[in-house]
């Protein structure tokens, strides 16, 4: 047996490694045996005639070497062979050709061997630690974790979890109005875990729709219990979000449950998301109804849906158009993201005014034919249809320059202004 005080001291060191790196005892014993064998291979070129026995219960280990007994003058390799006289010092009954097993004091291999062992063990433990970290957080992808801000850089922020593991929150995954100082605690969802060259990098996100979903699961017991299902989420981080929910329990109002009494449930989520406005709507498989709900608070007059192109032309009363589009176009953009349909809004034209409308072809002397053709291709055949359509929609759908569209609108407006002037002169 190796010297007791040395073996205990050595295993105490390994025990400290185990506790600090959170590696289980069985794995540690395996690592210890493997590390011993690697040192033996480095020293003797092989470990085939060695047995490494680690005894966790007694807190010690022993190394046994097996050698063959040869005549005193025939020893060619002392690692595999032992002279008869030396073998008989162990037991005088040994004879030539027999195998001798003896306990080797690892400390006698020298300081270099012990240092090599420690380096090998440390390297293996680091490898295991990285592997353990990868699997731990790979299982947490899509869940919310918390970390303390440790370092802030231009493109990302370094957080530390409760065990001191490093978490990365890139600038692109932060809400634009996020502001943190060192020592602040941050909540985010685990977006992914990169593991290039066995070097796990845990990437967090606060802009992911999954972060919003997990926050609702935390705040709304009915969602966590499976009574309410989140069907779809659309987010423009820090600005606005729309979330569609449904339930199969007729006794539950899914929207009311998510919002809470006087907004009690949703207020905490809004604060966490830096005052991001959140619209909660009832989900339905009826595409037309779903688009109408998604465009809330605007009230839709008529919808024409193209299932093949996954597009919808929505007609509203003039006073509802701005509500449908929303500030900076956020409402219609989120509605399109939520429903997965391209949505274009148009002003509904009163029947009495349609009689006075003019076909675009009649403006060919003032507007180039190719421009008229481009506008007609998006379903706008008359002057008033163009004037009632959003300027931005015409630019985008007809693929025309802003100056070109402004010229067309100017020509069309001028036509109706001339008609009004002429009517006024006749009446006078």
pLDDT given at position 152? 95
Q: Kindly state whether residue 307 falls inside one of the protein's structural domains.
A: yes
**Domain match, 189 and 96 both:** no
259-278, pLDDT tens digit by residue?
A: 999 899 999 999 999 999 99
**In sequence order, what are the beta bridge partners of 63?**
52, 104
305-319, pLDDT tens digit by residue?
A: 888 989 998 988 888
Centre a 10 Å sphere on the Cβ of residue 120 and count the other Cβ atoms it contains: 18
132-153, pLDDT tens digit by residue?
A: 899 999 999 999 999 999 999 9
For residue 409, give the CATH number of its domain.
Answer: 1.10.150.20
Strands 50-55, 60-70: pairing is antiparallel
Of 130, 148, 165, which residue sits at a domain end? 130
pLDDT given at position 128? 82
- Mean pLDDT in residue range 293-299: 93
Strands 81-83, 60-70: pairing is parallel
**Domain match, 12 and 110 both:** yes
Strands in 228-236's sheet, in edge-to-edge order, are: 228-236, 240-247, 277-282
Least confident interval from 34-38, 343-347, 417-421? 417-421
**Domain match, 24 and 108 both:** yes
How many CA within 13 A on the CB side of residue 114?
A: 13
**Domain match, 341 and 378 both:** no
Q: Is the pLDDT at 354 greater than 60, yes or no?
A: no
pLDDT given at position 317? 84
**Domain match, 94 and 179 both:** no
* Three-class SS state of 104: strand
For residue 341, give the CATH number of its domain.
Answer: 3.30.300.20
275 secondary structure, DSSP code? S
**H/E element holding 30?**
helix 25-44
Q: Kindly state whether residue 247 falls inside one of the protein's structural domains.
A: no
- Mean pLDDT in residue range 8-34: 63
How many CA within 13 A on the CB side of residue 361?
A: 2
Q: Is the pLDDT at 373 greater than 50, yes or no?
A: yes
- Alpha-carbon span 61 to 171, nearest angstrom: 51
pLDDT given at position 105? 77
- Alpha-carbon span 249 to 259, nearest angstrom: 17
**In sequence order, what are the beta bridge partners of 124?**
none
CA-angle at 366, arms to 360 and 368, nearest 5° = 75
Phi then psi for residue 274, to 5 deg, are: 60, 50
DSSP 353-388: HHTT--BGGGGTTTS-HHHHHHHHTTT--BHHHHHH
pLDDT given at position 90? 86
Q: Kindly state whether residue 412 falls inside one of the protein's structural domains.
A: yes
**Domain match, 44 and 105 both:** yes
pLDDT given at position 33? 81
Q: Are 365 and 394 in contact (CB under 8 A)?
A: no
Of 106, 130, 154, which residue sits at a domain end? 130
Nearest to 48 by CA among 83, 8, 121, 99: 99
**Domain match, 92 and 61 both:** yes
- Alpha-carbon span 195 to 140, nearest angstrom: 15
Centre a 10 Å sphere on the Cβ of residue 85 and count the other Cβ atoms it contains: 11
Of 305, 323, 348, which residue sits at a domain end? 348
pLDDT given at position 6? 47
65-118, pLDDT tens digit by residue?
A: 899 988 988 888 888 888 988 888 888 888 898 898 888 877 767 777 777 777
For residue 105, give the CATH number of its domain.
Answer: 3.30.1480
46-65, pLDDT tens digit by residue?
A: 888 888 887 666 656 788 88
Q: Are 417 and 387 in contact (CB under 8 A)?
A: no
pLDDT given at position 389? 82
pLDDT given at position 56? 60
Q: Are 411 and 368 in contact (CB under 8 A)?
A: no
Domain membership of residue 304 as a residue range? 284-348
pLDDT given at position 352? 44
Nearest to 133 by CA among 200, 197, 187: 200
186-245, pLDDT tens digit by residue?
A: 999 999 999 988 889 999 999 999 999 999 999 999 999 999 999 999 999 999 999 999
**Domain match, 81 and 123 both:** yes
Q: 25 versus 370: which is more confidently predicted? A: 370
Q: Kindly state whether residue 265 falls inside one of the protein's structural domains.
A: no
Q: Kindly state whether residue 227 falls inside one of the protein's structural domains.
A: no
Q: Are 246 and 282 in contact (CB under 8 A)?
A: yes
Nearest to 1 by CA among 103, 108, 100: 103
pTM of the shown model: 0.68
Q: Kindly state whether residue 60 falls inside one of the protein's structural domains.
A: yes
Q: Kindly state whether residue 246 falls inside one of the protein's structural domains.
A: no
Centre a 10 Å sphere on the Cβ of residue 183 and count the other Cβ atoms it contains: 8
Domain count, the chain: 4
Centre a 10 Å sphere on the Cβ of residue 391 and count the other Cβ atoms it contains: 14
Q: Is the pLDDT at 4 greater than 50, yes or no?
A: no
pLDDT band at residue 279 under the 50/70/90 scheme: very high
């Amino acid at each position: 047996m190796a010297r007791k005080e040395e073996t205990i001291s050595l295993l105490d060191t390994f025990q400290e490694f185990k506790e600090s790196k959170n590696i289980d005892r069985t794995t540690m014993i395996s690592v210890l045996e493997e590390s011993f064998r690697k040192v033996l291979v480095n020293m003797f070129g092989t470990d085939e005639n060695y047995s490494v026995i680690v005894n966790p219960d007694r807190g010690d280990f022993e190394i046994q070497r097996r050698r063959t007994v040869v005549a005193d003058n025939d020893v060619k390799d002392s690692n595999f062979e032992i002279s008869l006289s030396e073998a008989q010092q162990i037991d005088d009954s040994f004879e030539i050709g027999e195998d001798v097993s003896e306990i080797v004091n690892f400390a006698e291999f020298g300081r270099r061997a012990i240092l090599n062992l420690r380096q090998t063990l440390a390297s293996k433990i680091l490898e295991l630690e990285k592997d353990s970290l990868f699997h731990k957080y790979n299982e947490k992808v899509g869940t919310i974790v918390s970390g303390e801000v440790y370092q802030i850089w231009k493109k990302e922020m370094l957080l530390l979890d409760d065990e001191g593991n490093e978490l990365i929150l890139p600038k692109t995954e932060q809400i634009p109005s996020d502001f943190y100082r060192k020592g602040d605690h941050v909540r985010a969802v685990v977006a992914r875990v990169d593991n290039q060259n066995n070097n796990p990098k845990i990437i967090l996100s606060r802009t992911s729709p999954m972060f919003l979903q997990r926050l609702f699961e935390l705040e709304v017991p009915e969602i966590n219990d499976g009574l309410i299902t989140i069907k779809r989420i659309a987010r423009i981080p820090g600005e606005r979000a729309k979330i569609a929910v449904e339930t199969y329990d007729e006794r539950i109002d899914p929207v009311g449950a998510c919002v809470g009494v006087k907004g009690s449930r949703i207020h905490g989520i809004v604060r966490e998301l830096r005052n991001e406005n959140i619209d909660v709507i009832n989900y339905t498989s009826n595409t037309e109804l779903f688009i109408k709900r998604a465009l809330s608070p605007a009230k839709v007059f008529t919808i024409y849906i193209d299932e093949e192109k996954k597009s919808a032309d929505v007609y509203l009363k003039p006073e509802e158009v701005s509500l449908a589009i929303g500030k900076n176009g956020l409402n219609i953009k989120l509605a399109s993201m939520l429903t997965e349909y391209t949505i274009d809004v148009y002003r509904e034209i009163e029947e009495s005014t349609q009689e006075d409308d003019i076909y675009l072809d009649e403006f060919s002397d003032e507007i180039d034919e190719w421009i008229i053709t481009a506008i007609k291709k998006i379903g706008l055949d008359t002057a008033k249809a163009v004037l009632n359509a959003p300027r931005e929609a015409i630019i985008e759908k007809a693929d025309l320059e802003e100056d070109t569209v402004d010229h067309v609108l100017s020509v069309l407006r001028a036509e109706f202004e001339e008609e009004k002037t002429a009517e006024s002169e006749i009446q006078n």
